[in-house]
Amino acid sequence: MDRLYAWLAELAGQGLLPDALRYPFVARGLVAVLLLAPLLGGMSHLVVARRLAFFSTALGQAALTGLTLGLLAGEPLSAPYAGVFGFCIASAILMVYVKRRSRLPPDTLIGVFMALTLGLGICLLVAATKQFNIHQIEAVMFGSLLTVTDTDLLLLAVAGVAILAVLARVYNGLLLDSLGRPLAGVAGVDTALYEYLFVVLLTLAIVVALKVIGALLVEALVVVPAAAARNLARSTRGYVAWSVASALATGVAGIFLSTRFRVPTGGAVVLALAVCFFVTLALGAMLGRSSGDER
């Protein structure tokens, strides 16, 4: 990785790339975004189709609680993955289990779990700040280029390849289940298995994204790319392509905005995503009017 950083720094010194890439931590952040955007952007349309936007928010809140549990259990602040992933996966599976057996609306149940995990996380955070500086924890909550390490990049690459490989194998069944559960059942799809599988994959993707985007903002990168893509896409393939492209463009823009204005990476990426959504909304409306005029 050091050779890659040196090469990027050399290109930046020659004026071929942005000057910020002279610094290794910016280069690491850029590599992280290039790995992360296809992963979350590729899953985004399934999250929206399955109406799991609120569910993603709840997982982000659960990550805060898992973080504090991991820190209190003795995990290093640089890699609190066991606590975060363990608590998030338990919360995700429990939410799906209760949702499938309750008559209450799914958003109501998710709201209950979110309130529980957030309240528990805030209480535990008070105890964690007695051992750690609050600014160190904020980096995990909101995302920071300074905290991304080569180990994080390796974990992100391995997790991304594994998740995308599983998704490629079960994609047709997942899409059918997302669009119509009764139809999926008739086609022989095990809807319960696919629902549990998808939330586990989504949880893993969210956990490995925390260092870059942050626990409280990760939901935006899971949902907004698909929302922006929906404004322009005219087919399923176009939907996926536009979603990944939106995640890549806004992720890279967020990296350089955060270094230029010295703001948290997560916040900069989210702002770029919001701008992307409204731009595609306007473009989609213009293209729609143009198509109507031609007809």
Question: Could you state, in order of their start, the residue ranges of all structural domains in the chain?
Answer: 2-288
Measured CA to CA, the distance from residue 83 to residue 65 in angstroms comes to 8
Confidence tier at 278 by pLDDT (50, 70, 90): very high
pLDDT reported for residue 281: 93
Measured CA to CA, the distance from residue 72 to residue 88 in angstroms comes to 16
* pLDDT over 90 at 166, yes or no: yes
**pLDDT 10s digits, 210-231:** 777 777 778 888 899 999 999 9
pLDDT reported for residue 185: 76
pLDDT reported for residue 227: 92
Arithmetic mean of pLDDT, 140-169: 84
pLDDT reported for residue 245: 92
Confidence tier at 293 by pLDDT (50, 70, 90): low
CB 159 within 8 A of CB 212: no
Of 60, 165, 194, 164, the C-alpha closest to 117 is 60
* pLDDT over 90 at 280, yes or no: yes
pLDDT reported for residue 246: 92
Is the model more confident about 230 or about 287? Answer: 230
* pTM, two decimal places: 0.87
pLDDT reported for residue 135: 62
**pLDDT 10s digits, 57-73:** 888 788 888 888 888 88
Measured CA to CA, the distance from residue 47 to residue 59 in angstroms comes to 13
The DSSP code sequence of the chain is -HHHHHHHHHHHHTTSS-GGGGSHHHHHHHHHHHHHHHHHHHHHHHHHHTT-HHHHHHHHHHHHHHHHHHHHTT--TT--HHHHHHHHHHHHHHHHHHHHH-SS-HHHHHHHHHHHHHHHHHHHHHHHTTTS-HHHHHHHHH--GGG--HHHHHHHHHHHHHHHHHHHHHHHHHHHHHH-HHHHHHTT--HHHHHHHHHHHHHHHHHHHHHHH-TTTHHHHHHHHHHHHHTT-SSHHHHHHHHHHHHHHHHHHHHHHHHHHT--HHHHHHHHHHHHHHHHHHHHHHHHHHHHHH-
* pLDDT over 90 at 279, yes or no: yes
* pLDDT over 90 at 100, yes or no: no
Kindly report the average pLDDT of the chain as a whole number: 84
Confidence tier at 133 by pLDDT (50, 70, 90): low
Confidence tier at 289 by pLDDT (50, 70, 90): low
Arithmetic mean of pLDDT, 204-211: 84
The CA R_g of the chain, rounded to the nearest whole Å, is: 20
* pLDDT over 70 at 117, yes or no: yes
Arithmetic mean of pLDDT, 232-251: 90
Query: Spelled out in words, what is the top-level CATH class assigned to the domain 2-288?
Result: mainly alpha
Per the listing, tokens 């109406």 go with 51
Measured CA to CA, the distance from residue 177 to residue 172 in angstroms comes to 9
pLDDT reported for residue 134: 64
**pLDDT 10s digits, 188-197:** 888 889 889 9
